[in-house]
């Protein structure tokens, strides 16, 4: 009688670890590919600002921010799943891990779909009817996917790039004539300024949406 090789049964935990490794590898591949695209999107934003086309510059930076945010969120999610998977009480969190892996797969598919290639990035600065239609499609999609915080960070990046391109530095926060530290209000001035700026941008976005619907 011949000896039959012993077979090792793959546990649910082993499978989850393997699935997670595959997702992590795919994520790293996307990170390298998207780095090429986001570098080009930044360059396009500078080119558009140099031409005075702030609208297309902003669109390029918004697309870049969206892609980077997707990757960052997926990376953070996989890191959390890794901790759960290595838990000695895996059986208690198995459903959460499986659901998380399914969500991760969906997001990775979304990233792959949104990435396109450099030809899609170049359309962000195009002026043909096809390019303009694509730009509107991207803008509409981003409008429902990006948070207000993301939009504010994009606006800040746009302002910094504009200062770099034009050579005009960003205005400094005035310090002369400010009240003494002991007489400052409880809420920091910088925080108030940030909130006011965010509210103003939100109003601008709402006005733009109303104008588009009109």
71 phi/psi in degrees, rounded to 5: -65, -45
pLDDT in the model for residue 186? 47
Q: Other C-beta atoms within 10 Å of 51: how many?
A: 12
Q: What is the mean pLDDT of residues 72-84?
A: 75
**Alpha carbons 198 and 158: distance in angstroms, whole number:** 15
| CA separation for the pair 160, 42 (Å, rounded) | 12
Q: What is the dihedral of CA 55, 137, 47, 112, to 10 degrees?
A: 140
State yes or no: pLDDT of 181 exceeds 60. no
Token pair listed for 167: 């050579």
- The DSSP code for 178 is P
3-state secondary structure (DSSP) of residue 118: helix
Name the range with the highest mean pLDDT among 30-39, 60-69, 169-178: 60-69
Question: Is residue 114's pLDDT more than 50?
Answer: yes
Q: Which pLDDT score, from 0 to 100, does residue 97 have?
A: 72
Confidence of residue 90 (pLDDT cuts 50, 70, 90): low
* pLDDT for 192: 44
Poorest-confidence range of 33-42, 60-69, 89-98, 124-133? 89-98
DSSP 125: G
In this prediction, residue 206 carries a pLDDT of 61
Long-range contacts of range 138-147, CB-CB < 8 Å, 24 or more positions apart?
138/59, 138/63, 139/59, 139/62, 142/59, 142/62, 142/63, 142/66, 143/209, 145/66, 146/62, 146/65, 146/66, 146/69
Geometric angle at alpha carbon 122, from 124 and 48, rounded to 5°? 55
Q: How many helices (H) and strands (E) does the chain have?
A: 7, 0
Tens-digit pLDDT profile for residues 135-166: 999 899 888 888 889 999 999 999 999 998 88
Q: From residue 180, how far is each of 60, 176, 185, 192 by CA, in Å?
A: 43, 11, 10, 17
Cβ–Cβ < 8 Å for 67, 111: yes
């Amino acid at each position: 009688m011949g000896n039959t090789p012993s077979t090792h049964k793959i546990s649910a935990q082993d499978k989850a670890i393997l699935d997670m490794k595959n997702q992590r590898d795919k994520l790293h591949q996307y990170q390298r590919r998207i780095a090429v695209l986001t570098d080009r999107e930044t360059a396009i934003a500078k080119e558009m600002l140099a031409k005075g086309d702030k609208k297309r510059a902003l669109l390029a930076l918004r697309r870049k921010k969206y892609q980077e945010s997707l990757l960052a969120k997926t990376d953070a999610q996989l890191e959390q799943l890794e901790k759960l998977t290595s838990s000695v009480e895996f059986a208690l969190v198995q459903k959460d891990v499986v659901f998380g892996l399914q969500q991760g797969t969906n997001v990775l598919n979304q990233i792959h779909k949104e990435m396109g290639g450099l030809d899609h990035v170049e359309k962000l600065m195009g002026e043909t009817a096809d390019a303009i239609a694509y730009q509107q499609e991207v803008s509409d999609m981003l409008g429902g996917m990006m948070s207000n915080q993301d939009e504010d960070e994009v606006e800040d990046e746009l302002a910094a790039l504009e200062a770099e391109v034009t050579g005009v530095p960003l205005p400094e926060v005035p310090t002369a004539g400010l009240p003494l530290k002991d007489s400052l209000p409880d809420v920091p001035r910088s925080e108030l300024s940030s909130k006011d700026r965010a509210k103003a941008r939100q109003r601008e976005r709402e006005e733009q949406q109303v104008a588009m619907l009109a």
